[in-house]
Chains A and B, each alone.
Chain A
Amino acid sequence: MKIIILGAGQVGRTAAYHLSREEVNDVTVVDLNEDTLRDLQDRLDIRTVAGNAASPRVLEVAGIASTDILVALTNSDEVNMLACQIAWTLYRTPKKIARVRSADYTERDRLFGENGVAVDVWVSPEQLVTEHIARLIRYPGALQVLDFADGRVRLVGIRALQGGPLVGQELRTLREHIPAADARVAAIYRAGKSVKPEGTTVIEDGDDVFFLAGRKHIRAVMREMRREEAPVRRVVIAGGGNIGLRLAGELEETNQVKLIERDPKRARRVSEILSRTTVLHGDAADEDLLLEENIDSADVFAALTNSEEANILSAMLAKRLGAHKVMALINKPSYAELIESGSIDIAIAPQTVTIGSLLAHVRHGDVVRVHSLRRGAAEALEVVVHGDADNSRVIGRRIEEISLPEGTTLGAVVRGEDVIIAHHDITVQADDHLILFLTDRRHMEAVEKLFQGSASFL
């Protein structure tokens, strides 16, 4: 597929990296900064074009006329929307995805589509990251909570700890432990390596376990893996930027939220928008301020400023001062790996959160949702199966009969409103949504092929 990415910022670069790794994609990146582009071209097999992303001339040079997907990820909403509009009006580009941050645009549905701005899909990285953090706060103990089928099924990543009833037991005993709930373990990572989850696999202390379950069963399963943590009540947020502000707005109804912002003007603005949050003006790395605001009784401290170094330091400081759980927003994947083994509980990588929603739109077949996991090494995705028993390699077959590529597990089937946890004797029907977990995303093409139907159908 021919793809043009506008903007070589954090998200743009990550998208280029993920997309160009797949042999079938031809990626061109457009940005104003030639140095960034040269650096990018040295590392990835892509073409780069320097220039204004919303200029038809530049888009032409980038080959817009034959492009299948335009992904506009510059840091200006207006440039992104205009570029999509130009691509559609002049070149009828089939699919246009734009990053649109401002809720001012996104909350007006009629603005996009048929008679509006020609943006097929809009993504707001800030919104996605906020939702991601909010889910983590609602499920204390989870490392990752990812939605499928509009939130009816969730994939939860959790570190198994001594004290959970299932730890030290074989996986198949899960059903005996919690007969009422149904769940499926999709992957286990032990010391960074993937372990194939089978009935006889024993969960050990310190394993990272990914399981799929219906929303209402999640807490029950989590209780099996580690001692239950008390629900979060007090939240301290460092940084009143886009993400901090949104998160505070989302949580302030149910939790007691404090927000620390360094810039007095911004602090004032944030306090005007929010109603119940305590907005504080000051430095999140100021020990006195944190102590004064009872950091030791905070259930969660989330460092969400623009500077990742500041986030790491203030989160470490908060942890030492007694915050129960600390999170830090970190852009560099290598940093994230470094610190998650240290005193910071959860490193949030915005690109991996965002990239999943982009990937869903460029996959072959009908892929509804993609989540990128383990710094992009693994992937979880929701696929809709189409066709009938004659032309599909999955429909009308029992799960045990489907030959999945290595490292792939089929976790759940969503049929209409029902969530069916995938056991070997379930038969796949047309229009089912299947939820798959790939421990090695290099097998993605094989998975795509499996769901694209047979040769006679093509």
Chain B
Amino acid sequence: MKEIILPVAHVFAMVMMVFAGTMLAPAVFALWGLDPALLSFLGSAAATFALGALLWLATRRFKRELKTRDGLMLVALTWVALPAVAGFPLWSYLPINFTDAYFEAASGLSTTGGTVLSGIEHLPTSIKLWRCLLSWIGGMGIIVLAVAILPLLGVGGMQIYRAEMPGPMKDRKLTPRIGQTAKLLWAVYGGLTAACIGCLKLAGMNWFDAVCHGFSALSLGGFSNYDANVGHFDSVPIELVLTLFEVLAALNFASHFLAWSQRGVLAYFRDAEAKAILGVLAVSCIGVACFLYFKGTYAEFPTALRNATFNVVSIATDSGLHTQNYALWPIFAPMWMIFLSCIVASSGSTGGGIKMIRTLVLAKQANRELNQLVHPNLVRPLKVGGVVIANRVVFAVLGFVFLYFMSVVTLIFVLLASGLDFLTSLSAIIACINNAGPGLGLVGPASNYGVLSDFQTWVCSAAMLLGRLEVFTILVLFTPTLWRK
């Protein structure tokens, strides 16, 4: 046990020390704006760095090259432990307990965007920035970032990459070196974020709001600087910009990179997932708009289309920004949005859920089974986008989907047992595990997760981390074989 966890802890200590550096960004901001959270950030940064340094020194003796299982463990440890550290500034400055601080930080890092805070517009700017910055860092992956900037992870890099990047098929890298691939992904991510921030500024936001919402949109986080979320702005251009960048963030970043390096959009047409995602989103937006119009929720069709488009895209891509209290819409619309949040995001994107590629694989597998019944001797490979998917991958997808649904069902039962109503339990767990953000019922867009008890908050935090690491990476920690020598 000691020999297994301590070498991983040694590397984690280094990640922690680097992470302490990111706390200096809001600290600088606080210094500039002279806001009262400055001491909290400086103190947290110092504490995080000191903890990391202590751990590093204490485990120095166990330093060794990481193996496959160490990679898994490092990713799991990082994601479970970092929210605690990232919650320090919130915990020390705001009148909230540790449970809520952990939830808020985990919600940021896992890009969920569900919050326990209210009166957000009255918070110091540095705290607002920190929430959105957490989303942004978590979006592309903490360890992927560490791989990009620290050459410390060496041979184990591929396993770590696989444990953190979403999607079933991760053997193809953009470049031969894992470190370079990570750098490229972060470059694309950073570039798109910068573009989004620029567009938001042009659309009428001030610089600070543009930066925070740019971080939220690209990471598909969902934190806003206002209680009313994006509804605060009530601006069509801002909604259009955010919708566009949310869709981009829900596509595979490898496709973005290819499109950019080839200076053309051909890469998207070759990406079967991208086509499916755009199709599903287009049909859903128009469908929900028509539904809302005919149900009489909105008297005019353009208003219905505007509200349907922004909120459907935002929830479906697991971002969680919103302009309307869609919980008040007839139940079909919000349920459909929650269903979309399970399947829409692409592998290799910053979104959560089952991912479109798995949905496609499962659909085709089901179709293959049906055909097999009619033609028992049928030979048909499973193809997605013209590429044959190996049976090994199909099995992995089946295993994943089973675990995913069992996790959802189990956690819903846990919340029900704790006394929550059905709609709240169901929507909270699905919204958390898909990293979407607001749910329905008590945790709907108009209220927040602050109403939950401590125990229920921890369950939701666990769901967010499970979803962000695609279940396997967390659950593998509970397999006895991992801990055996």
Residue of B nearest to A29 (CB): B176
Report B-chain residues with C-beta under 8 Å of the C-beta of A45: 154-155, 157-158, 176-179
Interface residue ranges of A83-108 to B (CB < 8 Å): none
Chain B, interface residues (CB within 8 Å), range = 10 to 19
The answer to whether B59 has its CB under 8 Å from any CB of chain A is no
User: Which B172-218 residues sit within 8 Å CB-CB of chain A?
Assistant: 172-173, 175-180
Taking CB atoms, residues of chain A closer than 8 Å to B390 are 34
B67-80, CB under 8 A of A: which get 1 and which 0? 01000000000000
Task: Classify the interface of chain A: helix, strand, loop or mixed.
Answer: mixed
CB < 8 Å A-B pair total: 32
State how many angstroms separate the Cβ of A187 from the closest Cβ of chain B: 25
In the complex, chain A residues whose CB is within 8 Å of the CB of B158 = 41-42, 45
Tell me the complex Cα distance, A205–B177, Å: 45
Measured CA separation A28–B178 after assembly (Å):
12
In the complex, A45 Cα to B177 Cα: how many Å?
Answer: 6
Q: How far is the CB of A184 from chain B (nearest CB, A)?
A: 35
Nearest neighbor of A28 in chain B, beta-carbon distance: B176
Contact A46 B176 (CB under 8 A): yes
Q: Is B171 an interface residue (CB 8 A)?
A: yes
With a 10 A CB-CB cut-off, give which of A28, A38, A44, A45 has the most chain B CB atoms: A45
A384 to B178 Cα, complex, angstroms: 34
Cβ distance B357 to chain A, nearest Cβ, rounded Å: 18
Q: Is the pair B155, A48 in contact by a Cβ cutoff of 8 Å?
A: no
B68 engages A42 (CB within 8 Å): yes
Interface membership of chain B positions 130-160, coded 1 if the CB is closer than 8 angstroms to chain A and 0 otherwise: 0000000000000000000001001101110
Q: Which residue of A lies closest to B154 (CB)?
A: A45
Q: Report if A26-B155 is in contact (Cβ < 8 Å); known contacts: A42-B68, A47-B173.
A: no
The reply to whether A26 and B175 form a contact with Cβ atoms under 8 Å apart is: yes
Q: Mark B238-252, 1 if CB is under 8 A from A, else 0.
A: 000000000000000
Nearest B-chain residue to A35, judged by Cβ: B392
- If A26-B176, A26-B177, A47-B175 touch, whether A42 touches B159 (CB-CB below 8 Å) is yes
In the complex, the chain B residue whose C-beta lies closest to that of A38 is: B171
Which single residue of chain A is at the shortest CB-CB distance from B390? A34
Question: From residue B64, how far is it (CB to closest CB) to chain A in Å?
Answer: 16
Q: Nearest Cβ in chain A — how far from B420, in angstroms?
A: 43
Q: In the complex, what distance in Å separates the CA atom of A48 from the CA atom of B177?
A: 11
Q: CA separation between A291 and B177, bound complex, in Å? A: 55
**Closest chain B residue to A23, Cβ basis:** B151
Could you say which residues of chain B place their CB within 8 Å of the CB of A41? Answer: 158, 171
**Which of B151, B171, B179 gathers the greatest number of chain A CB atoms within 10 Å?**
B171
Residues from chain B with a CB closer than 8 A to the CB of A38 are 171
Contact across chains for B171 and A48 when beta carbons are under 8 A apart: yes
Measured between beta carbons, the chain A residues less than 8 angstroms from B157 are 45
Contact in complex: A27, B171 (CB < 8 Å): no
In the complex, whether A43 has a CB less than 8 A from a CB of chain B is yes
Choose among A23, A27, A42, A43 the residue that contacts B176 (Cβ–Cβ < 8 A).
A27
The contact of A26 among B68, B151, B180, by CB within 8 Å, is: B180
| Residues in B neighbouring A2, C-beta threshold 8 A | 176
Query: Which residues 67-85 in A have Cβ within 8 Å of B in the complex?
Result: none
Q: What residues of chain A lie closer than 8 Å to B175, measured between beta carbons? A: 26, 47
Per the bound structure, the CA–CA distance linking A214 and B74 in Å amounts to 53
Taking CB atoms, residues of chain B closer than 8 Å to A43 are 155
Residues of B within 8 A of A46 (CB): 176
Q: How far is the CA of A47 from the CA of B176 in the complex (A)?
A: 4
B7 → A minimal CB distance (Å) = 18
A319 to chain B, nearest CB (A): 37
Instruction: Please report the C-alpha to C-alpha distance between residue A34 and residue B171 in the assembled complex, in whole angstroms.
Output: 11
Return the chain A residue nearest B178 by Cβ.
Answer: A45
* Bound complex: CA A34 to CA B179 (Å): 23
**Distance between Cα atoms of A159 and B40 in the complex (Å):** 66
Q: Which residues of A sit under 8 angstroms from B155, Cβ to Cβ?
A: 43-45
List which A13-67 residues lie within 8 A (CB) of chain B. 20, 23, 26-28, 34, 38, 41-48
Looking across the interface, which residue of chain B has its beta carbon closest to that of A46? Answer: B176
Least CB distance, A397 to chain B, in whole angstroms: 33
A20 neighbours in B (Cβ, 8 Å): 176
On chain A, the residues within 8 Å of B154 by CB distance are 45
Distance A2 CA – B171 CA, assembled complex (angstroms): 19
List 19 additional A-B contacts (Cβ < 8 Å) besides A2-B176, A41-B158, A47-B175. A26-B176, A26-B177, A26-B180, A27-B176, A28-B176, A42-B68, A42-B159, A43-B155, A44-B155, A45-B154, A45-B157, A45-B158, A45-B176, A45-B178, A45-B179, A46-B176, A47-B173, A47-B176, A48-B171
Q: Which are the 9 A-B pairs with shortest beta-carbon distances?
A: A26-B176, A47-B176, A47-B173, A28-B176, A46-B176, A45-B178, A27-B176, A26-B177, A45-B157
For this complex, 26 residue pairs linking A to B, each with C-beta atoms less than 8 Å apart, are A2-B176, A20-B176, A23-B151, A26-B175, A26-B176, A26-B177, A26-B180, A27-B176, A28-B176, A38-B171, A42-B68, A42-B159, A44-B155, A45-B154, A45-B157, A45-B158, A45-B176, A45-B177, A45-B178, A45-B179, A46-B176, A47-B172, A47-B173, A47-B175, A47-B176, A48-B171
